[in-house]
Structure 1
Amino acid sequence: MKKKFSIKNIISSLLMLGLTLGFSSCEDVNDWGVDDSFNRIFSPVTFETAQVGATSVSLRFSSVPNAQSYVIEFSKDSLQFTTITNTVEILADDIVLDPNSTSKLYLATVKKLDPESRYSARMKVTSNNGLPESRWVTLTFKTSGEQIFDAVSNITESSATLTWEAEAEVTHIILSSGGTKKQIDLSPSNITESKLELSDLKENTSYTVEIYNGDRKKGTKSFTTAQKISGDGKRYTMTGTENIVDFLNAITESEVVLVIPSSAKFEIGDAWTLPAHIKSLTLWGLSGEGQAAISLKEIKLDNAVSSFKIWIHNMTVTGTDASADYVMNDNPTTARTISEFKMDNCTISAFRGVFRMRAALTVGLIDIDNCIISNIGSYGIISIDAAAVSVKDISLKNSTVYKLNNTNVITCKSKPVSISINYCTFYDAQAKDKYIINFDGKAANVAGTFSINNSLFGASDASVSTRATNPKIESTFVYDSYKTNDYAVASNYPLTGVLDYENTSTNLFTDPANGNFKIKDTNIGGEKQPGDPRWW
């Protein structure tokens, strides 16, 4: 007879077997080994730098339950800790809460570190309940340079004043610029006063100064000297937002230098008649991004002015109408002397003429240097436009003259003492049958000394015949200068002495039609590098 087993009987049997096995195994719960080295107080979860100074560091860390103290060690051997330089122990009751922390972190500040040094730091925790100390947590940081310098003050184009913390132990200063270094030993009075006056510096130049105590650097500062500002009279520094006409009218001095930021854009839009008491005016554009600019119909002098001088430096000067305007068009009703008319580092355009002179006028020096001049109308760059005008010296140098309209470059209806043209680039500088210099066709008007040196002449149209001088000068007056083969000179008005460059203007210049005269053929002229130096 077969036995029948129910599901209930099977489940009961399995349960009895499980209980039997379970009771038999309870006699030895952990029969594997335990590493007692893990039985220690916890390490801080957070350990980081909060602030690193020249001779100190603030470390931020989290607290640990049952801590007795926090031990910090420092080393300079990049986390090796073979040589400990500093050890700090802080009792758990003395740790300071970080006021800026939102998660209850603490700060420890350690001082008397070396500046500009790489440190390793590590922290461990000792316990108050007999547990072994925690494992180390580590980090690394670099201290900044020590700084005992105050701000560099009284900076001029050639000097500056250095001051530093009182009673600091210092021995010397290193002055650096452009890869050169100079050591300046500090005198007892320098050290007592914590002060040194630097002199004989270069204008508009960047310098770095470092102050030392023996071999230990104690501070570093950098500064740039001011741009050199020249000109006679009292200086007024403008912001560029003023009305320049009203600004000058309010000045009572007779000799004035207006120092103008590179961002300034003055649009006078009419003739600028200067106050009658102004005898000397310098418009000094500062260097910077762009160039200070002024737009006007002309600068005029009051008839009461008997003597005057003007200097325009580093500005963009434009007219409002190239068929009518002038930088200056002086035609006094009584005798007047202009001792100097100077423009340097200027961009000049859209005038009928740059400087036109008439009537009983005596001019000492006309000096145009390092300028780019274009789009000038029928009176050219310089026009001695009356036999009564007396001019001593005319100098045009380091400049580019292009796209003059139906005009001579220079016109002389009286005899100047000298005319000197040096290192200039001319392109389309004369219209057909116009002259580089027109002495009004009179030999008596030819300057006492006259020469063109190290200059370049080019043109866009070889069919346009130009003339050198009137009357023609057959003796050599051109030296170390070249004309391109598309610059045509009438044979009966020779540019005597000029050398031929057997190629076109576009072979010599990068993009002359658009005012880019960078030299492509650098073989021209050899070491003398003729033409406006800016293009080499």
Structure 2
Amino acid sequence: MDINSSVYNKDRFNMKIRNIYYVITGLLLVLTTACQDDVNDWAVDGSHDRLFRSTSFECVEENPTSALLSFNGVQGATKYYFEFSKGDSLLFNNIVFTANVYADTLSAYDKGTLEVNTEYRVLFDGLDGTSRYSVRMKALNEQNGMESGYTQLCFDTPDEQIFTNVTPGTTSVVLNWSTKEVATRIEFAELTRRMPENETEEEKMDTLWYDEPFVLTEEQKLTGELTINDLKPGTNYLAYIFNEDARRGAYAFRTLGSSQGETILVPAGGDINALLAGKTGDVTLSFEGGKDYSVGEFTVPEGVSNLYISGNVVGGKLPRLTMSKFVFSGLLNSFQVQYMDVVSDESAQFLVELNNANGAVKIGFDGCYISQIPRSLVRTNTGDLNIEEIKINNCIIKNVGLSGYGLLNIGKLGSLGKILITKNTLLNIGDQIIDLRVQVDEFTFTQSTFCNYTIGMPKLLRLDKQPKQTTVTQNIFTGNNNGSKMNSSNNDKDANFLSFAGCYLTSEFPQDKRVFTDAQVLTVSGEDLFVDPRNGDFHFKPGVKFEGDGEAGDPRWWTK
């Protein structure tokens, strides 16, 4: 190797190192000078100097008159501002109210590690049912004036229902609503045709609206009651109740009786059998509320195909019919007793007794008050009769079966489709609710209040033949059963299919060895829970909390 070449290459390498050093040093000086001069200290655009929007904003629960809104917190916010617009979809052309919610009043629904992932929920009430609302929200800091942009959502409130009771008659209806709620008018329509099932509820109904709404008077507002007359029997109607433009309730109902055949107005003291004699086809006997009627054996002539014994409530009173029993001279398609106060004169053991091929394919009691029957409301003991349905709905039944047999005694039939006992109050019933010795396709006993004080019932149900389908739920059983223990049924094997899930027993209700499987036993007695159960008032006492209110027992007593 040439020594001079080696020295030369070494000097070149050292020179490169020095040059790199000078370049780095120069750059450091430039950067230092730049920092000292603060040449990159630009002004911030005031339009972007704001709080961040909430990362989540949604409606988690819509109620008829309220909505529960959920949102995530915003760092630095001292309050949240809400605007509600009604009747549009995020256009905010009709602001109906605004609200400020202060951060220091909020409690975290779901606490996160940071404010941005902490969830809060706020309930807004005072809304209208059946309405669309748009809501927008922004966060603000009141100390420095900073605020976020809006985040927004849209939701629909469901239908509100302030109607508390609707009592149809043959040619009239009494509408009741809560006097705590504001209402100004009622719109009314006849439903003329039902539409296919895949359409919405309102689209299903062809309506013939009354030309003029019923503008409520001050007296009607005060009493919460409107009576509409001159209706057609056996016809479907629809009523809407409004506060100005806000719909606050809707109720579809059917007037009593038949839309076909003859409607006979029965005068007080009139001869019922004479009025009915010789009639054929569909017949409606129309009785006036508050009046007393009497007949021994109520005879249904051969040739009547559908009979409706229908009461028109007047001043809150049903027509009162004192009688011994119904006697059938032929086979009817349907036999219905509607909104009548039926009192047995106790000269016959059964109100409806079927021993041959005469009777009815469908038997129903709806909206009635029934009392003082020595044995059963309905008894069958024939293989020559096929019944599709026995239905007892929305009735108060008192002092029946005091000499045995029970409310229903189904001893023999050719065939039986359904037994439905729904939404009733049963007070002091003897022996059992049902003695069933034939096969039935469906047995349903729901939303009823049962109470015995003056008689001891040994068993609730006697089911010698297991129904193909059994539903016993949402009933309340109360009273001391006159000091006697009660079995749920007459057979241990019934426990394999008989469940009382959704039912409640008050603390004094005495169970025997066949317990009410799956029922909930309350810590309060019937007299602690109800206003006056011994005398048939099963309204819940004010201040008493009962989780089944609005679900279990006869709905007429609910507070919800």
Alignment TM-score > 0.5, same fold: yes
Q: Does structure 2 retain, via aligned residues, the 8 Å contact 1:256–1:278?
A: yes
**Match in the other structure for 1:512:** 533
Contact 1:404–1:430, Cα closer than 8 Å, also in 2: no
Q: Tell me which residue corresponds to 1:275.
A: 301
The separation in 2 between residues aligned to 1:311 and 1:459, in whole angstroms, is 31
Separation of aligned partners in 2, 1:380 and 1:296: 19
Structure 2: distance between partners of 1:300 and 1:456: 34
TM-score when normalising by structure 2: 0.53
Q: Secondary structure of 2:556's match? A: helix
Shift of 1:201: 4.9
1:400 equivalent in alignment to 2:409: no
Once residues 419 and 384 of structure 1 are traced to their aligned partners in structure 2, the CA distance between those partners, rounded to angstroms, is 12
Q: Is the 8 A contact 1:483 1:501 kept in 2?
A: yes
> Shift in Å at residue 534 of structure 1?
1.2
Counterparts of 2:227 and 2:360 in 1: how far apart (Å)? 40
Residue 353 of structure 1 pairs with residue 353 of structure 2:
no
Counterpart of 2:504 in structure 1 is 482
- Over the matched positions of the two proteins, sequence identity in percent amounts to 19
Aligned residues of 1:243 and 1:266 also touching (Cα < 8 A): no
Counterpart of 2:228 in structure 1 is: 224
Which residue, 477, 488, 506 being the options, matches 1:457?
477
Does 1:422 pair with 2:427? Answer: no
Deviations 1:94-137 (A, max 9, x none): xxxxxxxxxxxxxxxxxxxxxxxxxxxxxxxxxxxxxxxxxxxx
From 272, 285, 288, the equivalent of 1:261 is 288
Question: Are residue 207 (structure 1) and residue 214 (structure 2) matched?
Answer: yes
User: 2:523 aligned to 502, 507, 510, which one?
Assistant: 502
Structure 1 match to 2:264: 236
Quote the offset at 1:432 in angstroms: 4.2
In the TM superposition, what whole-angstrom CA distance separates every residue of 1:190-234 from its partner, at most 9, and x where no partner exists? xxxxxxxx93359xx981499xxxxxxxxxxx9834452333532
Deviation at 1:526, TM superposition (A): 4.5
Q: Deviations over 1:7-43 (max 9, x none)?
A: xxxxxxxxxxxxxxxxxxxxxxxxxxxxxxxxxxxxx
Change (3 A) 1:369 1:498: same
Deviations 1:30-79 (A, max 9, x none): xxxxxxxxxxxxxxxxxxxxxxxxxxxxxxxxxxxxxxxxxxxxxxxxxx
CA distance in 2, matches of 1:156, 1:347: 21
Q: 1:447 is paired with a residue of what secondary structure? A: coil
Aligned to 2:338: 313
Q: 1:247 is matched with which residue?
A: 275
Equivalent position amino acid for 1:327 in 2: L
Residue number in structure 2 paired with 1:380: 406
Q: Distance in 2 between matches of 1:382 and 1:307?
A: 20
Residue of structure 2 in register with 1:410 after alignment: 434
Over aligned residues, Cα RMSD in angstroms?
A: 3.2
TM-score with structure 1 length normalisation?
0.55
Q: Does 1:331 align with 2:358?
A: no
What amino acid is the match of 2:266? M
Equivalence for 2:249: none
**For the structure 1 residues 358 and 534, does the alpha-carbon distance in structure 2 shift closer, same or farther, using more than 3 Å as the test?**
same
Partners of 2:307 and 2:538 in 1: how far apart?
32
Distance 1:462 1:338, change over 3 A: closer
Contact kept, 8 Å, 1:485 with 1:504, in 2: the verdict is yes
Change over 3 Å in CA distance of 1:206–1:349 after alignment to 2: farther
8 Å CA contact 2:526–2:533 kept in 1: the answer is yes
Q: Is 1:462–1:487's contact at 8 Å kept on the other side of the alignment? A: no
Larger radius of gyration: 1
Is the 1:206–1:224 contact (alpha carbons within 8 Å) kept by the matching residues of 2? no
Report the AA paired with residue 268 of structure 2: G
Q: In structure 2, what is the Cα distance between the partners aligned to 1:380 and 1:357?
A: 13
Does 2:349 align with 1:344?
no
Is there any run of 5+ residues in structure 2 with no aligned partner, and where?
1-169, 174-181, 188-206, 218-225, 232-254
- Residue 38 of structure 2 corresponds to none
Deviation sequence 1:456-483 (CA, Å, 0-9, x none): 0011357410111122332452222100
Pick aligned residue for 2:318 from 260, 270, 291: 291
Does 2:470 correspond to 1:470? no
Give the drift of 1:279. 2.4
Matches within 5 A, 1:100-115: none
- Structure 1 runs not aligned, ≥5 long: 1-154, 159-176, 183-197, 211-221
CA distance in 2, matches of 1:347, 1:293: 9
1:318 CA displacement: 0.8
2:184 to 159, 179, 182: 179
The worse-fitting range, judged by mean Cα deviation, of 285-294 and 513-522 is: 513-522
Note closer, same or farther for the CA distance 1:503–1:527 as it changes in structure 2 (3 Å cut). Answer: closer
Q: For 1:209 and 1:430, locate their aligned partners in 2 and report how far apart those are by CA, in whole Å.
A: 45
Instruction: Assess, with a 3 A threshold, how the Cα gap between structure 1 residues 461 and 399 changes in structure 2: closer, same or farther.
Output: closer
Supply the AA of the counterpart residue of 2:475: S
- Give the secondary-structure state (helix, strand or coil) at the position aligned to 2:273: helix
Instruction: Give yes or no for contact 2:287–2:312 (8 Å, CA) kept in 1.
Output: yes
Match of 1:300 among 302, 322, 327: 327
* CA contact 2:411–2:437 (8 Å) conserved in 1: yes
State the AA in 1 paired with 2:228: T
Amino acid at match of 2:439: K
Checking the alignment, whether the CA contact within 8 Å between 1:399 and 1:532 is kept in structure 2 is: yes
Distance 2:463 2:436 in 1: 5
Judged with a 3 Å threshold, the aligned counterparts in structure 2 of structure 1 residues 513 and 223 are, in CA distance, closer, same or farther, namely closer
